[in-house]
């Protein structure tokens, strides 16, 4: 009631947002004529003027209208593209650190240039984040003429890029790259042995394209850099053999909603009997329980050709949101090995975490974060709670003409596919292109077989054929085209009605200074074909005339196809199943009706679909039963659509809880990570390691004195234990016990005596070896021991997290216990590190034969990259962990990526 009243008084959030944005857009538009009057050199010099104004105290907000007007004019001159007013609104929203929700085809890439340019003027670097290397490369090269013209540099990050090229890309004013590359570079930067080997600058401003895909869908997949563990892979084969002998309902329960399995008491006893052990839950069998659980998930939850495919003897993950193959990625926590055992392919060794971070905590490093997507409003609450990002819905430039029909629900999948086949035939007969969306490779192949049997020509776009993606999408808008796509969402390419405009590509690539050619190009773009034919006859060579005629023929064919598709009703979207997330369904629908084009969409469902089956289709089934609906008859009613929407909201809420839970656990590691990385950076940046080491010495001596010298009577102290500890550090014991006993404050006297002796011994050693050599030794020893102890701590934290659920049986909160025990482990790791550093430095000796560590000439990918758990692997134990490790990411169980090393030249 209160919400409704506030809405009446103040308007909806959408109306309030437009009210804030509109005056600024009007101000930008008022500058358009003055910008148009500037020469090219005057327009280019705007960047230098803006930087001068910023240096004198003006803010980015102060210069925003002029900066945006400058970019609009530059885009018009260099790309022939003028920013619409709604794109200006999107750009302002991005600069404010919000998410701009802009529908498909509204020009998000061009919109981003406004906020990118403005924030790049600060000179701290702007990161544009895309979902894959292709889009990073495409968008950077596409928008580069604007930035070049305005005197700003552009860098592109690509997988397996050389170190020097990578560093150069990050030093540019604007950098394009993928979320994985940014995240792994951050982790690798915090494993290098020299400051010059770092590639990233500060985390100032990031614009995340397809922000819902990266910050929501991939939030369950931590980035992990890992090295191999020493454990044998035989256990996976051994455990895999017992899984087929377990019976669902008796030995285990399957929870498809949570994508999990749970052993029953009978199942535990059965496993104990098969393995010949007394107690599966004995402390020494913790790993065994974990592997049985992962093997059960591999067999009973993860499906071949849905969650993964097997190619060339490898298990390759399929991204559940985009349908792409994630080559080189591996699930973590032993799940990938369990899948390899299930499929009978070679089993890779499990890995040990060397560094990790979630996307949630990585992107929260930025001073300012913003994003773009066609579908964010359904996740507005999560964006606000996790990232403090507000969603601003930007109106379309032209109203959407697409007609979204109500869902049709059938009793069985067979009936559903029959109806789908009939609708595709109807569309084909009237020359209407159809995009058919499926949620798995398996379903796309079933549908492809049915179409082939019916003699209907079609293209398939799924993880198995993604290499042909651009070509397939280019043809998806042709008359009568039938395209099957697995999770089309997020593919980043518009489907043009009539098919690919090849004539435009040919026009752009035809570089001629001939004014007649320019006149011809303009006529073709305006679709004035009669005038273009007339101009072509005036060209001064046969080669030019031939080329002009080829382009003209191509343009006419496209125009005919375009009009034919418009007449047929535009692109028709046919969804074969609802996705768990409404966003993905909305993204599929959004492929049609771009920029005011006509279009239509409809989803076909059955009671056997996963979403309907798992999340309750009993009510709908009951209605069908009561109505005595014959086979093949569908139910189409708003009540059905509402029931499905409610099911999707429940799943989205469940997935939000999982992501929030992951973040709560990673926040524990994040605080520890910040402490360790701060220590590393201080050393790398030339911090006072000598002062740190002396401080460690003092702290340790004080703690030991407090422990062994309790009370005011020295006769009751543990003198032998204190002496043994002090000499164990490598320090000479020169304490006069009688003098200590005579002093007024014996505890302070023994502390001063030991501390002075230790500090003098340390300084004498430094002076004897020489300042330069000693500084290098301190630095390298400090980093090596810090990295080693951090690696061991991560291993301990992994094991703590694996077993922490057991405290629930004692009615304790696992998260609270994880925090308490995690910080105890961290404190102990820090103390061990201090002791090891001091002990090593006190004992180290330099002779003429000593090989001092040379500066590393390599910036290697450390280990193996994991996401979801995805990982990067490492061979033999390196002298410096950072020199040899590998990257990882995590989700659904975790994943790994073996990568080549990047060498510094």
Name the token pair of 764: 């004498």
Distance CA 474, CA 482 (A): 12
Distances (CA, A) of 788 to 327, 596, 785, 792: 30, 59, 5, 6
Residue 738 lies in a domain: yes
Answer yes or no: is pLDDT of 283 > 60.
no
CB-based contacts of 124: which residues, under 8 Å, 6+ apart?
Answer: 201, 202, 204, 205
**Reported confidence tier of residue 227, pLDDT bands at 50, 70, 90:** confident
Which of 565, 580, 608 lies at the terminal end of a domain, its last residue? Answer: 565
- Do 587 and 445 share a structural domain? yes
Of residues 444 and 32, which shows the higher confidence score? Answer: 32
Which of 636, 666, 688 lies at the terminal end of a domain, its last residue? Answer: 636
- Do 769 and 691 share a structural domain? yes
- Do 487 and 508 share a structural domain? no
Answer yes or no: is pLDDT of 156 > 90.
yes
Residue 257 burial (CB count, 10 A): 12
- Do 248 and 308 share a structural domain? yes
Answer yes or no: is pLDDT of 680 > 70.
yes
The pLDDT > 90 percentage for the chain reads 39
Predicted pLDDT at 33: 96
Known binding residues: 87, 105-109, 494
Predicted pLDDT at 679: 93
Cα 140–Cα 97–Cα 44 angle in degrees, nearest 5: 45
Residue 417 lies in a domain: yes
Which of 808, 843, 878 lies at the terminal end of a domain, its last residue? Answer: 843
Predicted pLDDT at 848: 53
Predicted pLDDT at 579: 85
Predicted pLDDT at 862: 44
- Do 308 and 291 share a structural domain? yes
Distance CA 195, CA 185 (A): 14
What CATH code is carried by the domain that includes residue 335? 3.90.1440.10
**Reported confidence tier of residue 284, pLDDT bands at 50, 70, 90:** low
Distance CA 149, CA 146 (A): 5
Of 391, 117, 194, 127, nearest in space to 857 by CA? 194
Name the token pair of 402: 């697409």
Of residues 52 and 358, which shows the higher confidence score? Answer: 52
Most confident of 199-203, 731-735, 831-835: 199-203
What CATH code is carried by the domain that includes residue 809? 1.10.3060.10
| Domain span at 753 | 675-843
Predicted pLDDT at 198: 94
**Reported confidence tier of residue 786, pLDDT bands at 50, 70, 90:** very high
Out of 60-74, 393-407, 462-476, least confident range = 462-476
Residue 401 lies in a domain: no
Note whether 879 and 854 are within 8 A (CB). Answer: no
Edge-first strand order for the sheet with 314-318 is: 308-311, 314-318, 325-326
Answer yes or no: is pLDDT of 351 > 50.
yes
**Reported confidence tier of residue 490, pLDDT bands at 50, 70, 90:** very low
Predicted pLDDT at 467: 53
Residue 394 lies in a domain: no
Distance CA 321, CA 316 (A): 15
Predicted pLDDT at 495: 86
Q: What is the pLDDT of residues 535-552, one digit of tens each?
A: 888 888 898 889 989 999
Answer yes or no: is pLDDT of 900 > 50.
no
Distances (CA, A) of 401 to 37, 177, 424, 570: 37, 34, 21, 10
Answer yes or no: is pLDDT of 810 > 90.
no
Most confident of 150-154, 286-290, 584-588, 620-624: 150-154
Predicted pLDDT at 624: 59
Answer yes or no: is pLDDT of 520 > 60.
yes
Catalogue the long-range contacts made by 266-270 (C-beta closer than 8 Å, 24 or more residues apart). Answer: 270/245, 270/246
Answer yes or no: is pLDDT of 10 > 60.
no
- Do 761 and 679 share a structural domain? yes
Predicted pLDDT at 68: 98
**Reported confidence tier of residue 883, pLDDT bands at 50, 70, 90:** very low
Predicted pLDDT at 868: 42
**Reported confidence tier of residue 329, pLDDT bands at 50, 70, 90:** confident
Residue 78 lies in a domain: no
- Do 590 and 560 share a structural domain? no
Residue in the structure block whose two tokens are 């201090």: 834
pTM of the model: 0.78
Q: What is the pLDDT of residues 98-128, one digit of tens each?
A: 999 998 778 899 999 999 999 999 999 999 9
Out of 37-41, 139-143, 653-657, 722-726, least confident range = 653-657
- Do 315 and 250 share a structural domain? yes
Classified as helix, coil or strand, 712 is coil
Known binding residues for ATP: 87, 105-109, 494
Chain mean pLDDT for the chain: 84
Mean pLDDT of 510-520: 85
Q: What φ, ψ does residue 73 adopt, rounded to 5°? A: -70, -40
Most confident of 68-77, 377-386, 577-586: 68-77
Residue 182 lies in a domain: no
Predicted pLDDT at 873: 32
Classified as helix, coil or strand, 65 is helix
Q: What is the pLDDT of residues 609-632, one digit of tens each?
A: 887 777 655 666 666 566 566 666
Of residues 12 and 403, which shows the higher confidence score? Answer: 403
Answer yes or no: is pLDDT of 896 > 60.
no
Of residues 861 and 9, which shows the higher confidence score? Answer: 9
Of 601, 186, 205, nearest in space to 408 by CA? 601
Residue 883 lies in a domain: no
Residue 342 lies in a domain: yes
Name the token pair of 650: 């429940």
Q: What is the pLDDT of residues 169-192, one digit of tens each?
A: 999 999 999 999 999 999 999 999
**Reported confidence tier of residue 392, pLDDT bands at 50, 70, 90:** very high
**Reported confidence tier of residue 809, pLDDT bands at 50, 70, 90:** confident
* Burial environment of residue 619 by CB neighbours within 10 A (0 to 12, 13 to 18, 19 or more): exposed
Residue 344 burial (CB count, 10 A): 11
Predicted pLDDT at 282: 63
Note whether 225 and 354 are within 8 A (CB). Answer: yes
Predicted pLDDT at 230: 58
What angle, rounded to 10 degrees, do the helices at 133-149 and 60-79 form? 100
Name the token pair of 780: 């390298």
Of 859, 881, 889, 879, nearest in space to 160 by CA? 859
Answer yes or no: is pLDDT of 596 > 90.
no
Residue 39 burial (CB count, 10 A): 8
- Do 554 and 590 share a structural domain? no
Predicted pLDDT at 489: 46
How many structural domains comprise the chain? 4
Mean pLDDT of 349-365: 85
- Do 829 and 753 share a structural domain? yes
Mean pLDDT of 38-50: 96
- Do 478 and 560 share a structural domain? no
- Do 613 and 538 share a structural domain? no
Predicted pLDDT at 6: 47
Predicted pLDDT at 888: 35
Mean pLDDT of 392-414: 88
């Amino acid at each position: 009631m209160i919400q409704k009243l506030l809405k009446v008084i103040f308007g909806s959030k959408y109306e309030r947002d437009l009210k804030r944005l509109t005056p600024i857009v009007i101000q930008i538009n008022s500058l358009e004529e003055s910008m148009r009057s500037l020469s090219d050199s005057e327009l280019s010099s705007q960047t230098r003027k803006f930087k001068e104004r910023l240096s004198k105290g003006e803010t980015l907000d102060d210069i925003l209208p002029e900066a945006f007007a400058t970019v609009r004019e530059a885009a018009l001159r260099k790309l022939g593209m003028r920013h619409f007013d709604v794109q200006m609104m999107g750009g302002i929203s991005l600069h404010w650190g919000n998410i701009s929700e802009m529908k498909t085809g509204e020009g998000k890439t061009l919109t981003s240039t406004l906020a990118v340019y403005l924030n790049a003027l600060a000179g701290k670097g702007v990161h544009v984040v895309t979902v894959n290397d292709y889009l990073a490369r495409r968008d950077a090269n596409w928008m580069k003429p604007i930035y070049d013209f305005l005197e700003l540099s552009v860098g592109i990050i690509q997988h397996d890029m050389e170190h020097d090229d990578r560093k150069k890309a990050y030093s540019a004013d604007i950098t394009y790259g993928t979320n994985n590359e940014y995240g792994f570079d951050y982790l690798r930067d915090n494993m290098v042995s020299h400051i010059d080997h770092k590639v990233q600058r500060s985390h100032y401003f990031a614009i995340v394209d397809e922000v819902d895909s990266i910050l929501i869908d991939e939030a369950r997949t931590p980035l992990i850099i890992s090295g191999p563990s020493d454990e044998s892979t035989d256990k996976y084969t051994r455990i895999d053999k017992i899984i087929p002998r377990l019976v669902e309902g008796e030995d285990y329960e399957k929870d498809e909603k949570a994508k999990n399995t749970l052993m029953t008491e009978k199942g535990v006893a059965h496993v104990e009997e098969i393995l010949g052990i007394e107690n599966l839950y004995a402390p020494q069998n913790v790993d065994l329980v974990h592997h049985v659980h992962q093997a059960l998930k591999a067999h009973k939850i993860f499906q071949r050709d849905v969650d993964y495919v097997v190619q060339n003897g490898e298990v390759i993950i399929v991204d559940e949101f985009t349908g792409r193959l994630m080559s080189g990625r591996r699930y973590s926590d032993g799940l990938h090995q369990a899948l390899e055992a299930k499929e009978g392919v070679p089993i890779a060794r499990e890995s040990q975490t060397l560094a990790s971070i979630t996307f949630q905590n990585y992107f929260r490093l930025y001073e300012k974060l913003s994003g773009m997507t066609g579908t964010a409003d359904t996740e507005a609450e999560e964006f606000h709670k996790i990232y403090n990002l507000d969603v601003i819905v930007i109106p379309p430039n032209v109203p959407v003409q697409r007609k979204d029909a109500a869902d049709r629900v059938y009793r069985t999948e067979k009936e559903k596919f029959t109806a789908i086949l009939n609708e595709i035939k109807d569309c084909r007969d009237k020359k209407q292109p159809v995009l058919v969306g499926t949620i798995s490779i398996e379903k796309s192949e079933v549908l492809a077989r049915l179409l082939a049997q019916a003699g209907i020509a079609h293209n398939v776009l799924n993880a198995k054929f993604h290499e042909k993606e651009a070509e397939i999408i280019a043809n998806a808008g042709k008359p009568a085209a039938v395209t099957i796509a697995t999770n089309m969402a997020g593919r980043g390419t518009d489907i043009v009605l009539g098919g690919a405009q090849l004539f435009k590509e040919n026009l752009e690539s035809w570089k001629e200074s001939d004014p007649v050619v320019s006149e011809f190009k303009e006529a073709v773009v305006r679709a004035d074909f009669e005038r273009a034919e007339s101009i072509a006859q005036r060209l001064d060579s046969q080669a030019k005339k031939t080329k002009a005629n080829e382009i003209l023929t191509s343009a006419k064919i496209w125009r005919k196809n375009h009009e034919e598709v418009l007449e047929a009703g535009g692109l028709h979207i046919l969804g074969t199943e609802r996705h768990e997330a409404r966003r993905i369904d909305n993204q599929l629908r959004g492929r049609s009706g771009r920029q005011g084009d006509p279009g239509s969409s409809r989803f076909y469902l059955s009671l056997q679909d996963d979403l309907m089956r798992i999340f309750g289709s009993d009510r709908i089934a009951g209605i069908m039963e009561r109505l005595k609906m014959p086979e093949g008859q569908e139910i189409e009613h708003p009540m059905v659509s509402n029931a499905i929407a409610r099911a999707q909201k429940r799943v989205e809420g469940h997935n939000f809880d999982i992501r929030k839970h992951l973040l709560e656990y990673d926040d524990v590691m994040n605080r520890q990570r910040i402490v360790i990385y701060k220590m590393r950076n201080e050393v790398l940046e030339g911090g006072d390691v000598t002062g740190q080491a002396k401080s460690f010495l003092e702290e340790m001596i004080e703690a030991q004195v407090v422990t062994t010298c309790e009370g005011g009577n020295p006769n009751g102290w543990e003198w032998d234990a204190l002496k043994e500890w002090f000499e164990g550090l490598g320090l000479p014991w020169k304490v006069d016990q009688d003098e200590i006993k005579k002093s007024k404050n014996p505890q302070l006297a023994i502390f001063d005596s030991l501390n002075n002796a230790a500090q003098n011994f340390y300084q004498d050693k430094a002076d004897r070896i020489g300042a330069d050599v000693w500084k290098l030794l301190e630095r390298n020893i400090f980093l090596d021991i810090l990295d080693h102890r951090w690696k061991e701590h991560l291993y301990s934290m992994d094991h703590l997290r694996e077993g922490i659920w057991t405290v629930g049986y004692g009615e304790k909160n696992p998260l609270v216990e994880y925090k308490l025990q995690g910080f105890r482990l961290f404190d102990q790791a820090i103390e061990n590190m201090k002791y090891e550093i001091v002990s090593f430095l006190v004992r180290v000796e330099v002779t003429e034969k000593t090989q001092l560590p040379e500066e590393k000439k390599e910036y290697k990918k450390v280990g193996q990259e994991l996401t979801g758990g995805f990982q990067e692997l490492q061979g033999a134990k390196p002298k410096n962990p950072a020199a040899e490790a590998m990257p990882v990411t995590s989700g659904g169980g975790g994943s790994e990526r073996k990568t080549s090393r990047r060498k510094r030249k």
